Structure 1
């Protein structure tokens, strides 16, 4: 299974902000959209990502004010991205080894989606379930449903 197949199922909606708004405003947007991270996109170029983890570690734990701090002050600019053709096991390897939760999806330098650890885990579980069903049918001599 590929990233493109995950996006085909979940959709290509990307929640984005600009880096000049306050962290508080970004958190409000994330809350309204029920997402754990937003991409920072300016002039159609991916500039960074802001996650709830960034807020917790760079604002809350350092006693900064989210209403006064701008997104560009705490966003992560060292992003790891994937392509639509990348395999989900490659994505899981990135998520696990780089200790990240979100992967922006780029095609020809343009953001076309974002996948989360939850999306990747769900896809892997579905693949494993299909494999188990197939093997069970093979062993029992019946057709899989």
Structure 2
């Protein structure tokens, strides 16, 4: 199965601009029950902001989230995947890099997003199917 078959795509992605305030980004995250938000300009991925980034870089430092812009604390060294990757390739990259979220791009343009929560049930199903085939008696 390919990443593009399970990834969330542009209309369903929650994004904000680098110039947005952290309070607004946090509100979008709360409204959509998500732990990160993609930072984009014209569908070009500029960064990623997680609830942990907000906690450590704003709240713990006593900064006002209504006055801190997202671009001040977002991560810009983003690891990305491709829509035509096999789900196991994406899962391996995420495990190797110790990340839980993977923006999906083609030629530098944001196309989607996949998380470990999206991948886990699909990977399990694929592995279960593989194990059933491997365990089947020869000749059946």
Q: TM-score interval w.r.t. the shorter chain? A: 0.7 to 0.9
Q: Distance in 1 between matches of 2:101 and 2:134?
A: 32
Cα deviation, 1:19-72, whole Å, max 9, x if unaligned, reads 111111101011111211111111332111111121122122222222221100
Corresponding position of 1:81: 80
Q: SS state of the match for residue 6, structure 2?
A: helix
Q: Distance in 2 between matches of 1:76 and 1:47?
A: 9
Corresponding position of 2:127: 128
Corresponding position of 1:48: 47
Q: Distance in 1 between matches of 2:116 and 2:126?
A: 15
Q: Distance in 2 between matches of 1:95 and 1:53?
A: 18
Q: Distance in 1 between matches of 2:64 and 2:139?
A: 64
Report the Cα offset of residue 141 of structure 1: 7.9
Mapped pair 1:4 → 2:1: no
Q: Give the total of aligned pairs.
A: 138
Corresponding position of 1:93: 92
Task: With the length of structure 2 as denominator, give the TM-score of the two structures.
Answer: 0.87
Task: With the length of structure 1 as denominator, give the TM-score of the two structures.
Answer: 0.84
Q: Which runs of 4+ in 1 moved over 4 A?
A: none
Unaligned stretches of 5+ residues in structure 2: none
Q: Is the 8 A contact 1:14 1:112 kept in 2?
A: no
Report the Cα offset of residue 78 of structure 1: 0.6
Q: Distance in 2 between matches of 1:62 and 1:76?
A: 17
Q: SS state of the match for residue 132, structure 1?
A: helix
Q: SS state of the match for residue 35, structure 1?
A: coil
Report the Cα offset of residue 74 of structure 1: 0.4
Report the Cα offset of residue 89 of structure 1: 2.2
